[in-house]
Structure 1
């Protein structure tokens, strides 16, 4: 009788162990992600919990870009990240982008950034906005939100902008304002405005206004050239419906060239000068 009871206890223990092993095996199988290999499932599981990091290379093996951040969610090819940091490596300059959150597309390698977005180049250009998109195959970054770009003594703001990843060439879309140099010069236009920081010039379009302590200049289009060190304007070529206001003098012409160093304006295209003596003050030299 005692042998029979002992045998039953052994059978219950064996049955319990078998059930435990069976349930444990089922749990492990259910943990795998459908359609993924064991290695891929492990990688995806780690990305959901740990930091996300991915690097892209050129054909020759040179590092082209990298994206890092905390992964909050992975849905198909999209990786939603927080505390994002992305880097683009170029021939002449590198750019680092940071944001509170963003989305990385694992198929296209495109990046969408939101909230406190800041892009900084190794050459000293800084871009700030609320939303920024990085289009990998087109090698450009763009936004339709308010944007501010600073470089040394030059600050530019606008609504919407598009740039090369190295931030050397930027197109500001509309409602553009540039503040540069000391003494300060302010240039505004409806846009677009294209600036080349590498070659130190900018092209302003539509309802352009150039203003400093010496007067104002209005025109349809203006090309401004800058000193690479001081960011002061050295030359302005104004075209179309040019009007210069200085003290009580109004000057009209088809085109005008302002030379800052020489402090003079060259007018072309049947210039006309209107003088209002009752409003005239002793004009300062230059524009």
Structure 2
């Protein structure tokens, strides 16, 4: 008799446990599934400022899970589009998480690609911990992690930064582009401000071109204003070109040109006269008479 009661309680417990698990599974299902999901926001005078659409959406109490996402921001100077294969809209915090083939494009010509991205629409901020690739005006930037404005006008790249500055491809042969390319690397972070035409590199900075290599602790690279920006009044989005105007290297500066090496606390390169000025205890090491004569002639 005791065995029968024990068996009964075991079966009863198992039944309740199974029902509880089933109830939890049911609760994880979305409240509603719809196709062609869309949201939009409007500013003054009823003008649309942003929208978000997806081919399908699973709607939960606090979040909406999305597929095939397109988000748009409408600005006075330029428009911005964000796309991704999947994502989620947080209804509580009004934020969007994007993942798989995430792309940001702007009408001024900038493009960012990454594996995942968080879009804080209220604070106008995008962030990611993944590898990012940013292309703009002949400048390609690759880094691990980034945060900045959706317009990409102000961006901070977190670490392991590589920047490739390509010369203008107009009327240029591939060999000439490769020869004149400038590559800058640093441990990071890198802060880029397109409105000020300025990029600030930090920690173990290295600049390479076909003639020389520069090492320093930090470096500020100033770019010229693009031709496109000159024709558009007050358009910061199209401001920075891929042409360097000035480089300011600071901290343990070392410049290598062939076998010759120069050292200083600071170095300033001017693209206008193509000269480097060494500041703070400069020291030059020359390994041949020919190079010495050339150095003094310059």
TM-score by length of 2: 0.75
Larger Rg: 1
Q: In structure 1, how many angstroms separate the alpha carbons of the residues matched to 2:40 and 2:269?
A: 48
Deviation, structure 1 residue 80: 0.6
Counterpart-to-counterpart distance in 1, 2:294 and 2:77: 45
- Of 207, 231, 245, 1:234 maps to 245
Give how far 1:58 is off.
Answer: 3.1
Matched, 1:272 2:283: yes
Check the 8 A contact 2:35/2:57 in 1, yes or no.
no
What CA distance in whole angstroms lies between the structure 2 residues aligned with 1:224 and 1:253? 18
Show the counterpart of 1:86.
Answer: 71
SS in 2 for 1:236: strand
Q: Structure 2: which 5+ residue stretches go unaligned? A: 1-30, 168-179, 227-240
Tell me which residue corresponds to 2:193: 196
Alignment of 1:4-83 (within 5 A): 45=32, 48-58=33-43, 61-83=46-68
The 1:214–1:102 alpha-carbon spacing in structure 2 relative to 1, beyond 3 Å, is same
For residue 163 of structure 1, report the CA deviation from its aligned partner. 1.2
1:125 aligns with 2:110: yes
> How far is the alpha carbon of 1:124 from its aligned partner?
0.7
Q: Distance in 1 between matches of 2:212 and 2:48?
A: 50
Deviation at 1:276, TM superposition (A): 2.0
Q: Which residue in the other structure is 1:166 paired with?
A: 151
Cα–Cα, structure 1 residues 274 and 86, in superposed 2: closer, same or farther, change >3 Å?
A: same
Alpha-carbon offset, residue 228 of structure 1: 3.2
CA contact (8 A) 1:71 1:79 kept: no
**What are the residue-to-residue correspondences of 1:96-107 with 2, within 5 Å?**
96-107=81-92
In 2: Cα distance, 1:226 partner to 1:246 partner? 23
- 1:93: how far off? 2.2
Normalized against structure 1, the TM-score is what? 0.78
Contact 1:250/1:274 (<8 A) preserved: yes
Root-mean-square deviation (CA, aligned residues, Å) is: 2.2
**Distance between the aligned counterparts of 2:290 and 2:119, measured in 1?**
53
Equivalent residue, structure 1, for 2:164: 179
Shift of 1:282: 9.6
CA distance in 2, matches of 1:232, 1:162: 24
Encode CA deviations 1:158-195: one digit per residue, 9 max, x unaligned.
00001112111111000000001321000000000011
Give the conservation status (yes or no) of the 8 Å contact 2:267–2:279. Answer: yes
Q: Using the alignment, how far apart are the partners of 1:130 and 1:73 within structure 2?
A: 22
- Once residues 122 and 215 of structure 2 are traced to their aligned partners in structure 1, the CA distance between those partners, rounded to angstroms, is 39
Given the alignment, which residue of 243, 255, 259 partners 2:266? 255
1: CA distance, partners of 2:290 / 2:98: 53
Gap regions ≥5 residues in structure 1: 1-43
